Amino acid sequence: MDDPTRELEERFLPQAEIVTVPVRLLKETMDEIQSLLNSEGLDLEQGLRTMLCRGFGYTKGKLHLESAGERTERIAERLATLEPMYAVLKFEAYGLIQDNRALALRETSLRSSLDLSFKTIEALRQENKRLQDQLELLRGEPAQHRPTDLGQQTAGPRGRKPVPTIVRAAQRCRERIARACRPLGHAR
């Protein structure tokens, strides 16, 4: 199966894997974080991820830029701003790639089921046609002379309308059933 997301994942998320990091905090610190996240409209998980990555980005920027001055501070702040956004987007992209894979598998399964359904429908149509042909043989009328509607009758050779074939077949069937159901030893 050709996976269009594999190249994207290999390029931007090499060896990506989600890990869980348990962190112990004071309750008052957690309450402040929760309050801040609520005011920003972020859920707890995404907000904590953003805050952690923002601090990571800031620290990373400070370490990589060794020259002093205002320019370094601006670049470090810019890096601190962009790094958490990148980390959050990277995490979300990884989740979307995994969802895309799962959906591709489901789509393949559904397409297989659909193909099987079409084959079953075709087999049922062929069986239906075969049964209709057998019914016509049992009725004794070829397909081109069969009335298209049961209420519609074709005129016989003398211009009279004959009893529909299906009615005669039903009468014969009732007679056979009556004979078969007759108790043994009783003559009619």
Answer whether residue 150 shows pLDDT above 50.
Answer: no
Residue 174, in any domain of the structure: no
- Per-residue pLDDT tens over the stretch 9-32: 777 777 777 788 788 878 888 888
User: Comparing C-alpha atoms, which of 81, 85, 24, 82 is closest to residue 49?
Assistant: 85
Residue 188, in any domain of the structure: no
Residue 59, in any domain of the structure: yes
| Residue 139 Cα distances to 77, 147, 170, angstroms | 91, 12, 10
Handedness of CA 77, 83, 88, 89 (dihedral sign): positive
| Residues 50 and 23: beta-carbon distance below 8 Å | no
Domain extent for 35? 4-139
Residue 144, in any domain of the structure: no
For the chain, what is the domain count?
A: 1
Residue 169, in any domain of the structure: no
Residue 152, in any domain of the structure: no
- Per-residue pLDDT tens over the stretch 91-142: 888 888 889 889 989 999 999 999 999 999 999 999 999 888 888 888 876 5
Residue 126, in any domain of the structure: yes
Q: For all residues of the chain together, what is the average pLDDT?
A: 75
Residue 155, in any domain of the structure: no
- What DSSP string runs through 86-134? HHHHHHHHHHHHHHHHHHHHHHHHHHHHHHHHHHHHHHHHHHHHHHHHH
